[in-house]
Amino acid sequence: MVTAVTSFGRSGLYDWLIQRVSAVVLAAYTIFLVVYLVANPGLTYDQWSGLFDQLWMRVFSLVTLLSIIAHAWIGLWSVLTDYLTARAIGAKAVVARIVAQVILGAVAITYTVWGVEILWGL
């Protein structure tokens, strides 16, 4: 089995599995929020705040945040390695791909830290 050094997972199979599991988490979170909003048409700030004060909702939101980051990283890594190639844009493609991956990694880490700070008030 081939191991991709710059990939999020250990191989293509693991990346595929991580993306599918993260997609299920994202779908579940979206469905939950839509149902909650429809079930509470006169939603107040206190109700919304009360929902996110509960431990299970914070954990669910954190898992969703991590799923977004993992899903985006794998998807963008795939796009970058498919389209930023020496054949597509020339010899500087590897440098462009690495720069793009570093920027996307920095954005992902920033959003993760920011999201954890928002959810847990750290």
> What would the DSSP string read from start to end of 50-61?
HHHHSHHHHHHH
* pLDDT tens digit sequence for 21-61: 999 999 999 999 999 999 999 999 999 999 999 999 999 99
If you average pLDDT over residues 83-106, what whole number do you get?
79
The CATH code that applies to domain 12-120 is: 1.20.1300.10
Strand extents, DSSP E, the chain: none
Residues 6+ apart with CB under 8 A from 10: 3
| DSSP summary character for residue 2 | P
pLDDT of res. 74? 92
Residues 6+ apart with CB under 8 A from 101: 6, 77, 80
pLDDT of res. 1? 47
Asked whether 37 and 29 are in contact (CB, 8 A), the reply is: no
Cα gap 15→117, rounded to integer Å? 27
∠ CA 63-65-69, nearest 5°, is 115
Look up residue 85 and give its amino acid: T
